[in-house]
Structure 1
Amino acid sequence: MKCVMGVIACIVGLVSLIGLIVLKAVRSSATYMDDSFRWGGRDEH
């Protein structure tokens, strides 16, 4: 059972990490539109 708990902890950690990165990306693109254009963010619209 410890193995299962470790796997679950790993998945939770990865998901939270990806969530933080996505949140940061959304916030930065919303705050700095020029940066998003430079990074090719125009594809969204």
Structure 2
Amino acid sequence: MHCFKRHLFAYIVVNIFLVGLYFSNYKQGETAGYWFIYPLFG
């Protein structure tokens, strides 16, 4: 369960980082792709 929480925390941090990139660059085509790719690597 501890590993799950750690993975969930990392997932949230990465998503917040990607949101920051999304609003700073406004490149929806490039940034949005990572939202769907990241869970596959998890």
Distance 2:21 2:3 in 1: 27
Counterpart Cα distance in 1 of 2:14 and 2:8:
10
Q: Indicate the structure whose relative CO is greater, using CA pairs within 8 Å and at least 6 residues apart.
A: 2
Q: Please, what is the CA RMSD of the aligned residues?
A: 1.8
Q: Structure 1: which 5+ residue stretches go unaligned?
A: 1-7
Length-normalised TM-score, structure 1? 0.58
Deviation at 1:37, TM superposition (A): 3.8
State which of 3, 24, 28 in structure 1 corresponds to 2:21. 28
Percent of aligned pairs sharing the same letter? 6
TM-score normalised over the length of structure 2: 0.61
**Match of 2:8, as an amino acid?**
V
Counting matched residue pairs gives 32
Segments of 5+ residues of structure 2 without an aligned counterpart are: 33-42
